[in-house]
Amino acid sequence: MLQLLQQTLAQFEGVEYLIRETKTHRLECYNIKKQPEMKREAQTTDITLVLYTVFEEKAPDGEMKKYRGSFSTEIHPATGEDALKKIIEEGVYAAGFVKNAYYPLVSPSDGSAPTVKPQNMPQVLNDLQAAFNATDIHQEGHVSYSEFFITKTDRRILNSNGVDVSYTTYNAFIETAVHWKREGGEIEVGEAFRFSLDMENPAAFLKSRMEKLFTASRNKALAQPTPGVGDINILISGEALSTFFFYYKNRASTQMVYQQLSTYKEGDQIQSGDGDKITLTLDPLMQGSQNSAPYDDFGFPLTRHEIVKDGKLTKLWGDVRFSHYLNIPPTGVLPNLHVTGGTTTVEALRSAPYLELVSFSDFQADTITGDFGSEIRLGYYFDGEKTIPVTGGSISGNMEKVHGSLKMTKTEEQHGGFLCPEMICIRGASISGVV
Amino acid sequence: MQNVPASPFLSNAKPVLKKLIALLQRHFTYVSVLGTDVSGKNYRVSDRVTSISDTTWGERGFVIRVFEGGRYYEYAFNLLPDSDTALEKLCETITNNARDAMQGEGFTYPAPVEEEITQTFHGKVETLPTDVSPEEIIAKLTQINKKMHETSELLVEAIATVAYAQTGKIFLSAKKELEQHYIWSEAYIIPVARRGEVTQNAYKSYAGLKGFELLEEVEVGITETVQTVVKMLDAKPVPAGEYDVICSPDAVGIIAHEAFGHGVELDMFLKNRANAKEYMDKPVASPMVKMHDGATATNHMSSYLFDDEGNLGSDTVIIEGGILKAGISDALAAAHLGSAPTGNGKRQKYDHKAYSRMTNTFFAAGNDTVEDMIASISHGYMIMDASSGMEDPKDWGIQCMFSYAIEIKDGKLTDNWVSPVVMTGYVPELLKNITMMGKEVEFSGGGGCGKGHKEWVKVSCGGPYIKTKARLG
């Protein structure tokens, strides 16, 4: 198909293009408690074609200015030559009305993608399910359901500049919920685990996360309504931290800066105050991350970049297009984020009264306004004497108002494509308690 | 009005799929196939970036479902065999994989029972999006962008988008031959304002089973949305507490969706994941509450002839007189629970599993006016513009996030705005506290709905203005 598409594109003089081909093979297993409910399999090929045109027009200041138009479309892999010609003709016509400031396309690079060890997908599925089921041994609690997805993805990216790169990934996704008995019924704690199969022992990793989930569900069964706690240390751990720290990553993107949705400039002290200062590194090949890739969606080769050092923005990140607009070197679009550990320990953070939040309905942070908030699914309240699990109520605040007091543990924990301190402490967020 | 045309891709595929079904029927008690062809464009104009791309809701492929001995198996693919030999080979692959998958202990379902039915549905729109040139669409969005800027000098960005999805689906089995073709469109305007260090964004969405006649609707609301974002620059955080609140139809829609939408998806009953299972025919809301979900309950984003398992859409009354009456189901959950499928089996795309999913979910109208609601509150808030929601059907906890709320004091709206607003609470308490319901139901259909951590589908939700009590933070 790619050959036919390239041959057809060659018939259109002056048309530049990008092609992304994604071949997916996915094994799926759905279980109710420990019983398989249904198995599924998917074998698909998806092709994205982006057509580019370059044209000049008189700008408002009277000068001739160079523009780039583009049009992106999905091509079914069985599309014939005549249909392809029609798609390209219509696409080139449409691209002529997309008047963006000129930018170059990605150029070919040296090097190649790291070799990926082939995986026996049915075996991986069995091993992960066995490790998962081995944790379901409690009298008071059990797995309600689980869904397992093992995916092999072969990606190839080509463009009219001569880029032709490819890579393979193997990833796992597991969604589950655990129930635990309490007086008058049961509670539920849900979780999703995403990881790549390049980690040392995926089954052991899954087992350890499931054990944590069972612990959380046991504690939620004992939880009391979250009290009004006033101004107190708020400790946060778990996957919600990715939302918290991606705020900085997103605001440091060249696209957000170009669109004036972010006011960040290289050299800005983006986090001030007496707390621990953040250091952020984008790591394209983070082991265990389902997002790891040697190239971005445009075929640009990815390497590690430190973007924030001790609270100071050292580098904006972005693709070739938006970096060109800001006249800075591109980094490519890097999916994984490493937040370097801070100066304290979990024990030290738990030494004074606190509200520790470990599970949320849906922790959200608005990249534009900095507002964040969520309902509390599970937390622990320490009043200086005793610790009780709590549930309900909500947290809300603004990143710019809480990050000055930030404390982070030295120890780090990985959540898919996000490696960060195991726990953080903030002040200044509002807690709406239930009682 | 004109008919949405049929999908040539699916018309061409039909004979091959029928052959495949016939081959597979040699090995399985039941065989069905869903074929999908969803295509469309997304046009976006902002101050510095313009784009035209395919809709992210697009899909083109097939999923085979087979049943034998109480077990189901599905195989999804998007390349049709191009010869009889390739067809035989595909049949062999599916048969072998299905047999492997059905081995051993497993959850079993009763054999599917289908009625004979052949039906085709073509939606109608005023303007087919494919009849409008990219030039006209970009020009229109550019004009909207300009108008947003003309309304306020504080805007640093003004985004205008419009998208459509032309949906073609076929469902084939031994007894069924169903076909549907319809279009939904949606548009957004998103002004972003900045004053000093404070930046705010607001949005307004437009959506429906419409073509690009929708573009004409966007004119209405530009000034109001820009004025809203400018006003939000002065908004303060809401003091945490429980208040009398009036929820706008947009906010009510998300409450309906989260409160007793997800909670009555019957595949959740199978996994014992929904508290509603224990509350059927019991009071869960104020007696004035009536709530619907269904593809035929209204004509909006998720109205269709048949769902992704070939069951006809219906109108389910979930709550009537405050009593929980019924849930919504996919085919398998219904079979297991011994109920009739409600036509709510939806897939994110052909290569995803079907689950019990919402379609158009809404509270029915009441008899009150917004003016009377405001006048009845000594201190509270009028909540506007839903941005997201989440529910725990097992524990009946609910979280809804809204862009802003306006303070009400002594029966009057004040000039005090708060933003953002997080509403949390216990679902039956929130619904039992409803004391007034407006006369007019309005729907929203922008965005999408996920299940668990994935599985995005199009839905709509809505209702009238309501007055209740809620915890805000």
Cβ-defined contact of B52 to A42 (cutoff 8 Å): no
Contact of A15 with chain B, judged by CB distance below 8 Å, is answered with no
Contact of A186 with chain B, judged by CB distance below 8 Å, is answered with yes
The two structure tokens encoding residue A176: 């589950």
Strands A387-391 and A224-225: parallel
Contact of A230 with chain B, judged by CB distance below 8 Å, is answered with no
Of A41, A145, A398, the CB nearest to B75: A41
Q: What integer is the mean pLDDT of A330-354?
A: 97
| Percent of chain A that is helix, strand, coil (3-state, to 5) | 20, 40, 40
Contact of A67 with chain B, judged by CB distance below 8 Å, is answered with no
Whether B318 and B291 have beta carbons less than 8 Å apart is answered as: yes
pLDDT at B85 over 80: yes
Cβ-defined contact of A42 to B75 (cutoff 8 Å): yes
The percentage of residues in chain A with a pLDDT greater than 90, rounded to a whole number, is 91
Strands A280-282 and A233-237: unpaired
Cβ-defined contact of B78 to A77 (cutoff 8 Å): yes
Rounded Cα–Cα distance for residues A382 and B224 (Å): 46
Of B80, B426, B453, the CB nearest to A175: B453
Q: What integer is the mean pLDDT of B275-290?
A: 95
Domain positions in chain B are: 2-40+55-121, 122-168+183-232, 241-472
pLDDT at A264 over 90: yes
Q: Residue B453 belongs to what H/E stretch?
A: none
A301 phi, psi to nearest 5 deg: -70, 135
The two structure tokens encoding residue A137: 């041994």
Mean of per-residue pLDDT scores for chain B: 95
* Chain-centre distance for alpha carbon B100: 35
The pLDDT assigned to B40 comes to 97
Helical ranges in B219-330 per DSSP H: 222-232, 249-260, 266-270
Give A108's DSSP letter: P
Cβ-defined contact of B49 to A259 (cutoff 8 Å): yes
The pLDDT assigned to A135 comes to 97
Q: Is the dihedral of CA B16, B22, B28, B29 positive or negative?
A: positive
Residue A361 distance to chain B (closest CA, Å): 6
The pLDDT assigned to A11 comes to 94
Cβ-defined contact of A394 to B71 (cutoff 8 Å): no
Rounded Cα–Cα distance for residues A213 and A142 (Å): 11
Strands A280-282 and A305-309: antiparallel
Q: How far apart are the first and last CA of chain A?
A: 63
The pLDDT assigned to A59 comes to 83
Cβ-defined contact of B395 to A188 (cutoff 8 Å): yes
Residue B218 distance to chain A (closest CA, Å): 21
> Which residues of B fall within a CB distance of 8 Å from A369?
199-201, 420
Residue B369 distance to chain A (closest CA, Å): 30
pLDDT tens figures, A370-403 = 999 998 999 999 999 999 999 988 899 999 999 9
Q: Which residue of B has its CA nearest to A34?
A: B106
The pLDDT assigned to A228 comes to 85
Banded pLDDT at B384 (limits 50, 70, 90): very high
The percentage of residues in chain A with a pLDDT greater than 70, rounded to a whole number, is 100
Cβ-defined contact of A430 to B74 (cutoff 8 Å): no
Give B129's DSSP letter: G
pLDDT at A27 over 80: yes
pTM, two decimal places:
0.95
Q: Which of A412, A291, A29 is nearest to B101 (CA)?
A: A29
Of B97, B270, B471, the CB nearest to A32: B270
Of B80, B199, B395, the CB nearest to A368: B199
Of A145, A255, A434, the CB nearest to B271: A145
Q: Residue B326 belongs to what H/E stretch?
A: none
Contact of A227 with chain B, judged by CB distance below 8 Å, is answered with no
Tokens 């790169």 correspond to what residue?
A165
The two structure tokens encoding residue A119: 């995986």
Banded pLDDT at A246 (limits 50, 70, 90): very high
Q: Which residue of A has its CA nearest to B93?
A: A41
Of A39, A263, A368, the CB nearest to B101: A39
pLDDT tens figures, A291-329 = 999 999 999 999 999 999 999 999 999 999 999 999 999
Residue A256 distance to chain B (closest CA, Å): 11
Whether B13 and B35 have beta carbons less than 8 Å apart is answered as: yes
Of A32, A259, A434, the CB nearest to B107: A32
Rounded Cα–Cα distance for residues B467 and B401 (Å): 17
Of B105, B419, B424, the CB nearest to A392: B424
Whether A245 and A423 have beta carbons less than 8 Å apart is answered as: no
Q: Is the ipTM of this complex over 0.90?
A: yes
Cβ-defined contact of B75 to A40 (cutoff 8 Å): yes
pLDDT tens figures, B105-155 = 899 999 999 999 999 999 999 999 999 999 999 999 999 999 999 999 999
Banded pLDDT at B391 (limits 50, 70, 90): confident
* Chain-centre distance for alpha carbon A428: 27
What Cα–Cα distance (Å) separates residue B372 from each residue in A250, B286, B384, B410, B436? 44, 18, 18, 12, 9
Cβ-defined contact of A36 to B107 (cutoff 8 Å): yes
Of A26, A77, A192, the CB nearest to B453: A192
B337 phi, psi to nearest 5 deg: -85, -5
Contact of A258 with chain B, judged by CB distance below 8 Å, is answered with yes
pLDDT at B399 over 90: no
Q: What integer is the mean pLDDT of B50-73?
A: 96
Tell me which of A149, A176, A363, A432 to substitute to probe the interface with B (most B C-beta atoms closer than 10 Å): A432
Q: Which of A353, A146, A332 is nearest to A254 (CA)?
A: A332
What Cα–Cα distance (Å) separates residue B105 from each residue in A32, B108, B109? 12, 9, 13
> Which residues of B fall within a CB distance of 8 Å from A42?
75-77, 351
Tell me which of B275, B347, B351, B398 to substitute to probe the interface with A (most A C-beta atoms closer than 10 Å): B351
User: Is CATH 3.90.550.10 what the domain over A2-220 is classified as, yes or no?
Assistant: no
In A, residues 323-342, which contact B (CB 8 Å cutoff)?
A: 325
A96 phi, psi to nearest 5 deg: -65, -20
Residue B440 distance to chain A (closest CA, Å): 30
Rounded Cα–Cα distance for residues B64 and B351 (Å): 10
Neighbouring CB atoms inside 10 A of A347's CB total: 8
Task: Tell me whether the omega of the peptide bond preceding residue B134 falls within 30 degrees of 0, making it cis.
Answer: no
The pLDDT assigned to A129 comes to 97
Integer-rounded Cα Rg, in Å, for chain A is 25
Domain positions in chain A are: 2-220, 223-432
The pLDDT assigned to B121 comes to 97
Mean of per-residue pLDDT scores for chain A: 95
pLDDT at A434 over 80: no
Q: What single string gives the DSSP state of each residue in B13-67? A: HHHHHHHHHHHHTTT-SEEEEEEEEEE-EEEEE-SS-EEEEE-TT-EEEEEEEEE
Q: What pairs with residue B454 in β-bridges?
A: B451
Rounded Cα–Cα distance for residues A296 and A285 (Å): 12
Q: What integer is the mean pLDDT of A237-249?
A: 95
- CATH value of B122-168+183-232 in 3.90.1580.10, 3.40.1010.20, 3.30.2290.10, 3.40.50.2300: 3.30.2290.10
Rounded Cα–Cα distance for residues A52 and A215 (Å): 53
pLDDT tens figures, B223-272 = 999 999 999 999 999 998 999 999 999 999 999 998 889 999 999 999 99
pLDDT at B354 over 90: yes
Cβ-defined contact of A261 to B156 (cutoff 8 Å): yes
The helix-helix angle for A81-95 and A2-10 (nearest 10°) equals: 60
Residue A394 distance to chain B (closest CA, Å): 6
Tokens 């900085």 correspond to what residue?
A248
The pLDDT assigned to A73 comes to 97
Give the up-direction half-sphere exposure of residue B48: CA atoms within 13 A in the CB hemisphere. 16
Q: Is the dihedral of CA B381, B385, B390, B394 positive or negative?
A: positive
The pLDDT assigned to A111 comes to 81
In this complex, how many residue pairs, one in chain A and one in chain B, have their CB atoms less than 8 Å apart?
A: 217
